[in-house]
Structure 1
Amino acid sequence: MNNTDPETEPLPIAEFRGTTKHFGDVVAAEDLNLAIRKGEFLSFLGPSGCGKTTALRMLAGFETPTKGEVLLDGQVVNHLPAHKRAVNMVFQHYALFPHLNVADNISYGLRQQRPKLSVAEVADRVSKALETVRLPDFGPRRIWEMSGGQQQRVALARALINRPKLLLLDEPMAALDRKLRRDMQIELQTLQRKLGITFVLVTHDQEEALSMSDRICIMRGGRIMQTGSPRELYDRPRNRYVADFVGKSNFFDGRVTKASATSATMEAAGGLVISGTVTAELAPGQAASASLRPEQIALTRKPVEGDQTLGLQVQIVNRIFLGEHTEYLVRNDVIGEFLVLVPRQAEATEGSFEPGDAAHATWRAGTALILGKD
């Protein structure tokens, strides 16, 4: 029973209601329905062309919906121009002015406001913005004298100085190297918690979305496939597409032999029977896939005995050392190839495997997630 009174729930800071965007015959976004909560870090995640950037641009005011509504603070803003929305955007390539120094780049938006702010007020807010992004005393610096990470911080400061209610981030870390990208992810999370501003990020990087977001909106073909917390999407994906896109997973195809509201059993190739939980209703005879995460599988030299254990004899095809884990690609003569992720501690017990070695891949019965075909 849900005791939440809808009238007492806080108003979403932004909302899509049946929002659709067409570019000629191309459907970029189709029937989007999503409420963005105040103070959350939300990510749109999906491959190129899935509609995530179009959704962001409709929030910003750079695109107008073909039908449906975009709301900010409960007000329909379909035709409200971008400069009149309490929304700022950080672009993938930062869009900084190379002929202006850092301070002038950051203050550019403030200096367009009417009535005009005093010179002292602008200087004070620029100074505070630079402190916020940990670039004090960088005001006189030229843009071309700064690293990619520093330029990103300038772009953030320029967006934050206008005190937006909603900050939109269009793949702002795509141009950074891996280590700097991770550092900036932490910076963004810290900044968002400190300021309490709602952040909406567009990314195709699942690791980035999983590590930074309060909620993730998975998109495909212009539609929202599922929205939830990173843990919800990882542990309880609604379909194979989401399971495949969020993290790594092995899929064994077959047909359902038995199903209930919470679990199902299916028969895969070679008569392998796999049981597991379900996230959507399935029926006997229905085509399905068993999703098994690589870290849910153990790799041993001898068979593991037990009624609650399923095992396959495999051969090691390849190994990739990842530091705290080793990722093995293994092959079973009937099932085919799949991945196994072995913790370093487990390898210390069993020893490492080399390509060509024989091994046993095992997992507990009921561990898999049984999903209907998309």
Structure 2
Amino acid sequence: MTDAPIAELRSASKRFGAVLAADDLNLSIERGEFLSFLGPSGCGKTTALRMLAGFEPPSSGQVLLDGQVVNDLPAYRRPVNMVFQHYALFPHLTVAENIGYGLRQQRPRPSTADIAKAVDKALETVRLQGFGPRRIWEMSGGQQQRVALARAIINQPKLLLLDEPMAALDKKLRRDMQIELQSLQRSLGITFVLVTHDQEEALSMSDRICIMRGGKIVQIGSPRDLYDRPKNRYVADFVGKSNFFAGTVDAGGGSLTATGHRLAGRPTQSLIAGQAAWASLRPEQISLTRQPGEGISLPVQVETRIFLGEHTEYLVKNADLGAFQVLVSRQAESTEGGFEPGDKAFAGWQDGAALILADD
């Protein structure tokens, strides 16, 4: 098997009138990986997906599949299938007829027996054995999503594109389907490309995540890389929860002074002394104690308390730095005891734990 990327965007841009929806995108998608486009509404992630699918030709630049430029190749001739947000199933057809629709459009058309065999295999893959005769309206939301997946994989595409396919599912079902999608992707070996605005979904499922803003790619990396080494405040704010303290960079760039407090940390890019920047701290990096501890220890007042099972999320307020979030595990809380709104406490973290980030 070749090591060449399964798909590429090379300086690909898409303009709709005066709106530049995708701006000079450069991206290589590796064979067999699970890649996610992550960003807010209007950031260009769906436009990038539609250019890969063939629904939108790039205004400039190139789209490549298997090393071949496919700018002018229509969607139905690309080795790509897409699962839409609302599944786009045919309500007048049975589950089996929906799944086998693509095979019936092929020329030469496979035999009826071969189509039935392929449909049965697809149903087994998505764990819907015996559901072939049912009508679409008799299926739950999660089952309909599996039907849409079965219809997409039956043609054995090289690239499967998913446009927020779990947006309409409740939280528990969405989590179950995330696990199923990961298992399905590994068993099939097909390259999956997901578009989502849900950071938890992208972090839990992806091999790599492509963060987008304003039609541009901001940063690409593994979930761990993006979480631990975000390029700027935008990425740190979009991937996981973080507390941000505004200040100015100290000499050497390894610390920041915010309202009189020196916050040491790791700069993620070259910064200049005196430059406006942010110190970023994840809520789980901060401890909450009744007595001051080692490292940085700030007096705070507990504003709110939210119980989350294994963790409790506190909003605390310091007279100088303002309000920020603290995530305390049940084990840590058992040592100190729980805190209630109005309690006085100390919020602390290891000196140097913060990231020093630029705005963009």
Q: Would you say same fold, with TM above 0.5? A: yes
Task: Give 1:115's match in structure 2, choosing from 102, 108, 114.
Answer: 108
Aligned residues: 360
Task: Give 2:174's match in structure 1, choosing from 177, 181, 193.
Answer: 181
| CA distances 1:291-325 after superposition (whole Å, capped 9, x unpaired) | 00000000001111x3xx01110000001000000
Matches within 5 A, 1:239-254: 239-254=232-247
1:285 shift after superposition: 0.9
1:3 equivalent in structure 2 = none
Q: Tell me, yes or no, if structure 1 residue 301 matches structure 2 residue 290.
A: yes
Task: Give 2:322's match in structure 1, choosing from 336, 345, 352.
Answer: 336
Matches within 5 A, 1:173-252: 173-252=166-245
1:373 shift after superposition: 2.2
| CA distances 1:18-46 after superposition (whole Å, capped 9, x unpaired) | 00000000010000000000000000000
1:9 shift after superposition: 7.8
Cα distance in 2 for residues equivalent to 1:108 and 1:40: 27
Task: Give 1:102's match in structure 2, choosing from 83, 95, 98.
Answer: 95
Task: Give 1:347's match in structure 2, choosing from 329, 333, 339.
Answer: 333
Name the SS of the counterpart of 1:64 in structure 2.
Answer: coil
Cα distance in 1 for residues equivalent to 2:334 and 2:119: 54
1:151 equivalent in structure 2 = 144
Q: Which amino acid is the alignment partner of residue 52 of structure 2?
A: L
Gaps of 5+ in 2: none
Cα distance in 2 for residues equivalent to 1:333 and 1:75: 60
**TM value normalised by structure 1:** 0.95
1:326 equivalent in structure 2 = 312
Task: Give 1:273's match in structure 2, choosing from 257, 262, 287.
Answer: 262
1:283 shift after superposition: 1.2
| CA distances 1:205-242 after superposition (whole Å, capped 9, x unpaired) | 00000000000000000000000000000000000000
Q: Which amino acid is the alignment partner of residue 300 of structure 1?
A: T
User: What RMSD, in angstroms, separates the aligned Cα atoms of the two structures?
Assistant: 0.9
Cα distance in 2 for residues equivalent to 1:79 and 1:28: 19
2:47 equivalent in structure 1 = 54
1:361 equivalent in structure 2 = 347
**TM value normalised by structure 2:** 0.99
Cα distance in 2 for residues equivalent to 1:26 and 1:372: 27
Q: Which amino acid is the alignment partner of residue 315 of structure 1?
A: Q
2:359 equivalent in structure 1 = 373
1:5 equivalent in structure 2 = none
Report % sequence identity: 73
| CA distances 1:116-168 after superposition (whole Å, capped 9, x unpaired) | 11111101100100000000111101100000000000000000000000000
Cα distance in 1 for residues equivalent to 2:109 and 2:196: 36
Matches within 5 A, 1:135-174: 135-174=128-167
1:258 shift after superposition: 2.1
Q: Which amino acid is the alignment partner of residue 47 of structure 2?
A: T
Cα distance in 2 for residues equivalent to 1:355 and 1:79: 61
Gaps of 5+ in 1: 1-7
